[in-house]
């Protein structure tokens, strides 16, 4: 048996929706992108959504829209994908890394306050694996020190906070990823949700060259209007209608897909409980979209485990190599191995198992059987 780590769930419906866009001959940002933005807002419960070409772009534009600039310091977790902190560096600001909570693997709220200085402007929070970070307390800290909050919700499309609301509503801006492996995919793509009208205007401007008008509004439809102004040197981060058409179908399936992920997580929990592993901590106050199912191997060698799983045809992955262990972050900012002991300890033991809606019962049984065979 061959089991992939996180293949996209693409059906005839997605193929037909994309074909329709291709036949319409309007390929770039246009009516499908607007429809996707509107439906995404409705799903999340946010006032606005701005579609972009990746979560990396979403994070970068969000920092730009909040006027993050050279000399600023931005607090974030070391236990994340590089995009979370690279985008801070792209603004000329300094990423101030923080260690994680040993149970949830989310940013340790108690450590945030210790790292705040007069230069601190914002906190970028990651909802690791789909489980909400400690948002109530993080928002309290942000209010106390007048900091902006950006949520990296790359793993959390469809997750809920402990207040029952969908993730995408608490920080100033929330960034979603529609990368090929994520819970909702458009191949490549991202979305920013927001409840502030002024920020939306700025983000739409930054998304497309700093143009006073969207290109599609100039060319789409009968009345063409050739005039535009450049109000600032913006970027080229718009979504295309090809991606949006894919996203609209994926959005329809998202709750069903996340429920399937949840039921797989329950089965893993039940079956792996007897083994010498640390299962993901489940906070019953919030609801995870289960983008990941990470386990920690208490005694078995993690790298050996990955190799053994591979030889049985099962792909796994590691989320994440802490950023403070990366050569650029060490050379440029002076971070060192040993700076964040919890992240490092977890990193050496952690492995993400396959979890996605198309995973069949027999595949899941085979994975569980193989894990038991390897660990015993
Ligand atoms: C995938 C991911 C991103 C980047 O998403 P892209 O859409 O590929 O740019 C950012 N943050 C986290 C935590 C991710 O897992």
Helices (H), the chain: 12-24, 31-44, 55-65, 82-90, 109-114, 135-145, 197-207, 215-219, 241-272, 302-311, 327-333, 341-349, 361-375
pLDDT of residue 181: 98
Q: How far is the CA of 177 from the centre of ligand 1 (A)?
A: 6
Report the pLDDT value the prediction gives residue 249, as an integer from 0 to 100: 98
> Any catalytic annotation for residue 182?
yes
Choice among 148, 182, 204, 349 that is catalytic: 182
Which ligand 1 atom is the nearest neighbour of the CA of 128? 13
Please give the pLDDT value at position 224: 64
In short, whether 120's Cβ falls inside 6 Å of ligand 1 is no
Angle at 329 between CA 51 and CA 71, to 5 degrees: 70
> Ligand 1 within 6 A of 320 CB?
no
Q: What is residue 340's predicted lDDT score, i.e. its pLDDT?
A: 98
Give the chain's length.
376
154 lines ligand 1 (CB under 6 A): yes
Q: What is the pLDDT of residue 284?
A: 86
Give, for ligand 1, the residue of 5, 81, 184 to mutate: max count of ligand atoms closer than 8 Å to Cβ: 81
The best mutation among 55, 106, 191, 239 to test binding of ligand 1, ranked by most ligand atoms within 8 Å of the C-beta, falls on: 55
| Residue 84 near ligand 1, beta carbon < 6 Å | yes
| Nearest atom of ligand 1 to the alpha carbon of 152 | 11
152 lines ligand 1 (CB under 6 A): yes
pLDDT for position 227:
81
Instruction: Output the CA 86–ligand 1 centroid distance in Å.
Output: 11
Q: Which of 51, 52, 54, 56 to mutate to test the pocket of ligand 1 (most atoms within 8 A of CB)?
A: 56
Encode pLDDT of 175-206 as tens digits: 999 999 999 999 999 999 999 999 999 999 99
* 178 CA closest ligand 1 atom index: 7
pLDDT for the residue numbered 228:
84
Q: What is the mean pLDDT of each run of 10 residues along the chain (376 residues)?
A: 96 98 96 98 98 98 98 98 98 98 97 98 98 98 98 98 97 98 98 97 96 65 72 96 98 98 97 97 92 98 98 98 98 98 98 98 98 96
Say how far apart CA 342 and CA 337 lie, in whole Å.
Answer: 12
- What pLDDT is stored for residue 200 in this prediction? 96
Q: pTM for the full model?
A: 0.97
Q: Is the CB of 83 under 6 A from ligand 1?
A: yes
- Ligand 1 neighbourhood includes 87 CB (under 6 angstroms): no
What is the rounded CA–CA span in Å between residue 211 and residue 298? 54
């Amino acid at each position: 048996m061959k089991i992939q780590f996180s293949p996209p769930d693409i059906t005839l419906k997605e193929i037909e929706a994309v074909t329709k866009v291709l036949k319409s001959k309007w390929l770039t940002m246009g009516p499908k992108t607007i429809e996707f933005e509107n439906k995404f807002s409705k799903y999340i419960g946010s006032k606005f959504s701005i579609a972009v070409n990746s979560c990396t772009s979403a994070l970068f534009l969000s920092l730009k829209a909040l006027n993050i600039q050279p000399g600023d310091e931005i607090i974030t977790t070391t236990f994340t994908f590089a995009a979370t902190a690279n985008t801070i560096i792209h603004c000329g600001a300094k990423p101030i890394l923080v260690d994680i909570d040993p149970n949830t693997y989310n940013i340790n709220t108690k450590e945030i306050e210790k790292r705040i200085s007069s230069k601190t402007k914002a906190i970028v929070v990651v909802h690791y694996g789909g489980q909400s970070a400690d948002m109530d307390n993080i928002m309290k800290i942000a209010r106390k020190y007048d900091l902006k909050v950006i949520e990296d919700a790359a793993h959390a499309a469809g997750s809920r906070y402990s207040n029952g609301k969908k993730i995408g509503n608490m920080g100033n801006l929330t960034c979603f990823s529609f990368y090929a492996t994520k819970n909702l995919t458009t191949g490549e793509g991202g979305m920013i949700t927001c409840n502030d009208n002024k920020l939306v205007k700025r983000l739409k401007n930054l998304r497309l060259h700093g143009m006073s008008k969207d290109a599609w509004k100039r060319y789409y439809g009968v009345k063409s209007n050739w005039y535009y102004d450049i109000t600032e040197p913006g970027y080229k981060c718009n979504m295309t209608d090809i991606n949006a058409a894919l996203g609209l179908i994926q959005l329809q399936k998202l709750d069903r897909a996340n429920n399937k992920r949840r039921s797989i997580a329950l089965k893993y929990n039940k079956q792996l409980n007897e083994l010498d592993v640390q299962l993901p901590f489940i906070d019953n106050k919030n609801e995870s979209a289960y983008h990941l199912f990470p386990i920690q191997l208490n005694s078995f060698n993690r790298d050996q485990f990955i190799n053994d799983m591979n030889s049985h045809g099962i792909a796994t992955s590691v989320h994440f190599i802490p950023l403070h262990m990366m050569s650029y972050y060490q050379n440029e900012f002076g971070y060192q191995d040993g700076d964040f002991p919890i992240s490092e300890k977890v990193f050496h033991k952690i492995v993400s198992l396959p979890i996605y809606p198309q995973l069949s019962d027999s595949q899941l049984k085979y994975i569980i059987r193989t894990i038991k065979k390897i660990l015993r």
